[in-house]
Amino acid sequence: MHTNFSADNGVDGHLLFDRSSALDIAAFVTAGIDLSPGDAIPSDGDPRIERALSGFLFTCGPDHIRHPEPIEGRGDRVRYPLHGSLAGTPVSRTEMSPDGLRCSAVTEVDLACGGRAAIERVWQVDGNGQGVMLEDRVVNIGASAFAPMMMYHMNIAGRLLGDETRIESASLEGGSLGWWFDEGESAHFCRTAVAGDDRWAEVSLSALPGLQGRGLHVRFLTTTLPFLQMWRCQRGRANVISIEPASHRLAKRVDLSAGGELDLIAPGQSRDYALSFRVG
């Protein structure tokens, strides 16, 4: 599924939704340029994640959001899959508005821990095409409680960046950071997101030469996404940087559990998440 839109500055945009993976975004094209990294990504040995990572946005969760870890009470060999269970799960049903600016979907997913969840998703392009909004509701439709975890992996082709490109956010010390942060071919960080009075935090990749100097601006609701994680990889053929609003800090599940940070939702209960992005 896809939608086209035109911003008030005359720049056309195009979103390609992936019905085979929770209605994630396989491509985000603006002014004829796709921000997605394509095949310039590393391999972790999981085909569904390789497919998802090559697109502009994929959703980690709703039962786990980072690298595989043992499932509680099942021994070391039974593990949550890389980035959780949702990626690679086909949608159950979708609906597109007549004007193509609103697309909704429901994806039902079996969780690695034995539970079951539904992700009720709505994508909305604003009237003049200046921004794209995502609203998700994770509903426990299983017979047992589980701890919802969500992270939105927004992947940008490194070929679009230059020496002048910076990460800008109130969540960073000093408010700004060069995109090539830390040493080596790959690096990541996770910070507590600093929100405004409206509880939304913002992060931007500014001055991208590959976008004629424009930037990518991302906002996310910190009530359920209180952390900003970022990752970059320039190793071999890989050249990608990711903006990753997350529900949990960067820590092992056993540490999150010990800290009381894995809040459960019972059958029938739900939790809401939201973010938006624009180029400008």
Domain boundaries along the sequence of the chain: 2-161+179-192+222-274
**What is the rounded (10 degree) CA torsion for 35, 41, 47, 48?**
-30
Q: What is the pLDDT of residue 5?
A: 65
Confidence grade of residue 1 (pLDDT, cut at 50, 70, 90):
low
- On whether the CB atoms of residues 23 and 105 are closer than 8 A, the answer is yes
pLDDT digits 0-9 by tens, 45-83? 899 999 999 999 999 999 999 999 999 888 778 999 999
Q: What is the pLDDT of residue 77?
A: 83
pLDDT higher than threshold 90 for residue 100: no
pLDDT higher than threshold 90 for residue 24: yes
pLDDT higher than threshold 80 for residue 130: no
Q: Is 45 exposed, middle or buried (0-12, 13-18, 19+ CB in 10 A)?
A: exposed
Confidence grade of residue 9 (pLDDT, cut at 50, 70, 90):
low
Dump the DSSP string for 190-250: EEEPP--TTSEEEEEEE--GGGTT--EEEEEETTT--EEEEEEE-STT--EEEEEEESS-S
* Helix/strand number for the chain, H first, E second: 2, 18
For domain 2-161+179-192+222-274, which architecture applies?
A: Distorted Sandwich (2.70)
- Locus of tokens 């085979």: 20
Average pLDDT over residues 151-180: 98
Weakest mean pLDDT among 30-34, 55-59, 124-128: 124-128
pLDDT higher than threshold 90 for residue 4: no
Look at 126 and 80; give whichever has higher pLDDT.
80
Distance CA 88, CA 5 (A): 27
Q: What is the pLDDT of residue 162?
A: 98
pTM of the entire structure?
A: 0.95
- On whether the CB atoms of residues 5 and 17 are closer than 8 A, the answer is no
Confidence grade of residue 127 (pLDDT, cut at 50, 70, 90):
low
Closest alpha carbon to 94 in 14, 29, 18: 18
Weakest mean pLDDT among 13-27, 70-84, 161-175, 200-214: 70-84
pLDDT higher than threshold 60 for residue 40: yes
